[in-house]
Amino acid sequence: MADDTSRTVLLEQQVLAKNDGLAEQNRSWLAGHGVFTVNLMSSPGSGKTTLLARTVRDLGGELTISVAEGDQETSIDADRIRAAGAEVVQINTGTGCHLDAGMLAGALHSLRPPSGSVVFVENVGNLVCPALFDLGERCRVVVMSVTEGEDKPLKYPHMFRAADLVLINKVDLLPHVHFDMRRCVDGARRANPKVGVLPVSATRGDGLDAWYAWLRQAAPARA
């Protein structure tokens, strides 16, 4: 049993090491081309696609945005993003629960984002595996919703530890759900004392100006 465990750990280390090497290649290519890349991560149903589609519509006249869309099956979300006005490449992972650096490399080859543009990676809905796989992105943003409960940062600390920003979505539903905002923010900061936290509503528009300001501030560091 000990030998089997050792082999499993070694295999995981080899997989992550290979991914990290590809991620560094992506990071170098993106930096060299002046492309700012954001990895959006969340559980299913957080409103990540709704937020991304609205961001594309609201900032499309200001920023050149393209999207690598990750899902196990279908192109439903990619179709929504395309309708919002962004170039998009669909990545279907089948049974895979996350995107990896090789998948992003293939998407970048298809998207060919121009210098000075922004690439959003909409990762597969999952609060575990995507946090483990570096894609070569510049920033990681975790989207969670008030309908999920305030305890998610405590239950999935690695995801929040890896984040540069947490967006707490669907705040328009706060009158209708039991959600302790302070406890949620405290949990996120316990996992990551430096993480930014913004309450937003992708449908009603609450907090989106702050989200867009964060993007504008972060994006100049892309080169």
**Strand, coil or helix: what is 115?**
coil
**Residue 89: left (phi > 0), alpha (psi -120 to 50), or beta?**
beta
Where b means 16+ CB within 10 Å and e means fewer, 37-53 reads bbbbbbbeebbbbbbbb
Q: Evaluate whether 198 touches 168 at the Cβ level (below 8 Å).
A: yes
Nearest Cα to Cα of residue 119 among 158, 63, 162: 63
CATH no. of 2-222: 3.40.50.300
Nearest Cα to Cα of residue 39 among 221, 223, 165: 165
Q: Which backbone phi and psi does 138 adopt, to 5 degrees? A: -85, -40
130: its two tokens: 């995507």
* Cβ neighbours for 38, distance < 8 A, ≥ 6 positions apart: 118, 119, 120, 121, 137, 138, 139, 140, 141, 215, 218
Torsion of CA 16, 23, 162, 142, to 10 degrees: -120
How is residue 113 annotated by DSSP? P
pLDDT at position 219 = 83
pLDDT tens, residue order, the chain (223 aa): 456 665 555 555 676 789 999 999 999 999 999 999 999 999 999 999 999 999 999 999 999 999 999 999 999 999 999 999 999 999 999 999 999 999 999 999 999 999 999 999 999 999 999 999 999 999 999 999 999 999 999 999 999 999 999 999 999 999 999 999 999 999 999 999 999 999 999 999 999 999 999 999 988 644 4
| Distance, CA of 33 to CA of 198 (rounded, Å) | 29
The predicted model scores a pTM of: 0.92
- Scan for tokens 């984002």, then name that residue: 113
